A and B are shown apart, each in its own frame.
Chain A
């Protein structure tokens, strides 16, 4: 039998379901493509793996608590957040966001993890009219054409090879 090693810090199936449900509430309701959620979750997984162990544990625990906490709300009626339809999940989120200052702060942090990765997707950026790569190419090329010689001189100066580089 071939065994495939699970990458370190991979999200569990349950964590994925919670994050997907949460993303459906905090991110815009009409994403450009349904497949964005796969990309968002993959990016969130990589991001969490790069955070400090304490931060990762806090965030993942917060998602688990949110998932379970939903059971105790009128919207949840015993069901976990991941099992709620979008309408009830939204209502549940709003209720929790009206809670204590600490809960609100934590929800903003959790929301930020999802929206950060949603709004970094190229197709979402494009929809906002934000397409920096082409702009970088154009301005970089203008820079080289206009200032090429001065740039080369400055680069030599930094290495200590140009004129005026003494102490």
Chain B
């Protein structure tokens, strides 16, 4: 294996010979959308910043279309995580330098005005569309957010678009954080060209460029404290062979937890922080997703073209988004009931498949608990309204595929037969569908450290500072008071810039 040369300021687990103690102004736990952005903004503002990342450093040159390797190296727990409930909801989080932005689809949308207005009504200060607009502009400029070049859009997306247009449904071209993405459909395994402007190639190098230090392969075990004041973190490095390595102690005036909506509340809890609101780890929303596969007569070659090019926004007011998003063969097989020869027969049509799906806005909330020996345990019980919404999303996705000309459609409903026409679809859905037969997954986890000025309702302030503690902040999707209803990355980055600005202002006023 070729040794990876890390950029200046980035230290990996294999580089550290023994226990390490460092001091800085701010330590940021996590290097994803929230963590890397916070680190870059604070380093830009002249603070001495240390970032601690549990995952490894994997540069663009190391990315290949090797799904199992990517699952093992870029995802937490090999991409196999579950929110327990009936039905369970499978979920994945990135765990590498750059966090989930390295393995997401790269969709970048502003938070809808109606969501910002709702959050303002729910007690978040300075969150109106007018206040947020300049932050979105900064995100979009720095991450090169824009529409795809036409030559990068694949046949699967065009078929899906045609199906939606035949129904007269409103559809938008996706805006993505990409710099002339060539549409090689490798977003979920690490962009091999660097066209996707993940944190790995934007705010992480930006932070390092401004003098920040980043320790990779180091899991933060706890935040240290002096009474209610956060004073730093203690972590342990992991060697490449997974053996536990030396410890890292960081002393800092400010600690920023940015490990995502599952890991951050778990870290805060195991460090002894409690919220008077009783909501630390609660209020979890996750945008349940369901996947529908359409098989066409014509060759589609869904892997020739960007991962996702359009979204059907016709049903956004109902809390439903639809899109086509190709997956490699290995992942298509997951969740399918077929096996053996039947599976082989189905997969022989891989090049004729359009893989599409729906994302639905939550109607209920779940919870992250910490269980000794197991770590964070996520539970989420879909309610009746959520199940109806998911089923409607599945129906609309299937209708789009059939309108586009699919001759067979596979539904994410356990035990449901394939459908070949709108009539057959109606027949399948006419009968009762058990909630537990829905096959759901997600990659959007939000809300477990919700922001707001009222300490009785919210875990952190409107700018991410933990209520009841000093020098402790959160900077990830856990901040969201409720589901954002669209892909959340741009919201996380914009909030991180806004909150970092406030933190810097406070630092200048009070000397820390």
**Contacts A119-B330, A135-B184; is A158 near B144 (CB within 8 Å)?**
yes
Binary contact readout A121-164 vs B (1 if CB under 8 angstroms, 0 otherwise): 00011001110110110011011001100110011011111001
- Neighbouring A residues of B65 by C-beta, 8 Å: 132-133, 136
A112 within 8 A of B: yes
B58 within 8 A of A: no
B192 within 8 A of A: yes
How far apart are B139's CB and chain A's nearest CB, in angstroms?
A: 11
B206 within 8 A of A: yes
Provide the bound-state CA to CA distance between A111 and B340, in Å.
10
A108 within 8 A of B: yes
Provide the bound-state CA to CA distance between A26 and B82, in Å.
23
Asked whether, in the complex, the Cβ of B77 is within 8 Å of the Cβ of A139, the reply is: no
- Neighbouring B residues of A54 by C-beta, 8 Å: 374
A-side binding surface: helix, strand, loop or mixed?
Answer: helix
**Contacts A54-B374, A164-B141; is A116 near B182 (CB within 8 Å)?**
no
By beta carbon, the residue of chain B nearest A40 is B68
Provide the bound-state CA to CA distance between A27 and B416, in Å.
22
Asked whether, in the complex, the Cβ of B205 is within 8 Å of the Cβ of A159, the reply is: yes
Please provide the chain A residues from 40 to 74 with a CB less than 8 Å away from any CB of chain B in the complex: 43, 46-47, 49-55
Residue among A46, A115, A157, A165 making CB contact with B144, cutoff 8 Å: A157
By beta carbon, the residue of chain A nearest B189 is A132
B410 within 8 A of A: no
Please provide the chain B residues from 461 to 476 with a CB less than 8 Å away from any CB of chain A in the complex: none
A11 within 8 A of B: no
By beta carbon, the residue of chain A nearest B337 is A108
Residue among B77, B78, B179, B351 making CB contact with A130, cutoff 8 Å: B351
Binary contact readout A12-41 vs B (1 if CB under 8 angstroms, 0 otherwise): 000000000000011111100000000000
- Neighbouring A residues of B193 by C-beta, 8 Å: 136, 140, 143
Asked whether, in the complex, the Cβ of B414 is within 8 Å of the Cβ of A51, the reply is: no
Provide the bound-state CA to CA distance between A130 and B332, in Å.
13
Asked whether, in the complex, the Cβ of A112 is within 8 Å of the Cβ of B335, the reply is: yes
- Neighbouring A residues of B64 by C-beta, 8 Å: 133
Asked whether, in the complex, the Cβ of A28 is within 8 Å of the Cβ of B303, the reply is: no
By beta carbon, the residue of chain B nearest A101 is B436
Residue among B81, B330, B436 making CB contact with A117, cutoff 8 Å: B330
Provide the bound-state CA to CA distance between A52 and B78, in Å.
8
Asked whether, in the complex, the Cβ of A51 is within 8 Å of the Cβ of B339, the reply is: no
Binary contact readout B333-373 vs A (1 if CB under 8 angstroms, 0 otherwise): 11111011101100110110000000000000000000000
Residue among A55, A112, A143 making CB contact with B182, cutoff 8 Å: A143
**Contacts A104-B414, A112-B335, A116-B333; is A28 near B141 (CB within 8 Å)?**
no
7 example contacts (A-B, Cβ-Cβ < 8 A) are as follows: A125-B329, A128-B351, A132-B65, A143-B181, A143-B182, A159-B202, A159-B205
CB-CB nearest 3 A-B residue pairs: A28-B344, A139-B182, A120-B330
Apart from A51-B78, A147-B179, A159-B205, what 11 extra A-B contacts exist at CB < 8 Å? A26-B343, A27-B340, A47-B71, A130-B303, A132-B185, A136-B193, A140-B182, A154-B179, A158-B142, A158-B203, A161-B209
- A interface vs B, CB < 8 Å? 8, 25-30, 43, 46-47, 49-55, 90, 93, 97, 101, 104-105, 108, 111-112, 115-120, 124-125, 128-130, 132-133, 135-136, 139-140, 142-143, 146-147, 150-151, 154-155, 157-161, 164-165, 167
- B interface vs A, CB < 8 Å? 40, 44, 64-68, 71-72, 77-78, 80-82, 88, 138, 141-144, 149, 152, 179-186, 192-195, 197, 201-203, 205-206, 209-210, 242, 303-304, 328-337, 339-341, 343-344, 347-348, 350-351, 374-375, 414, 436-437
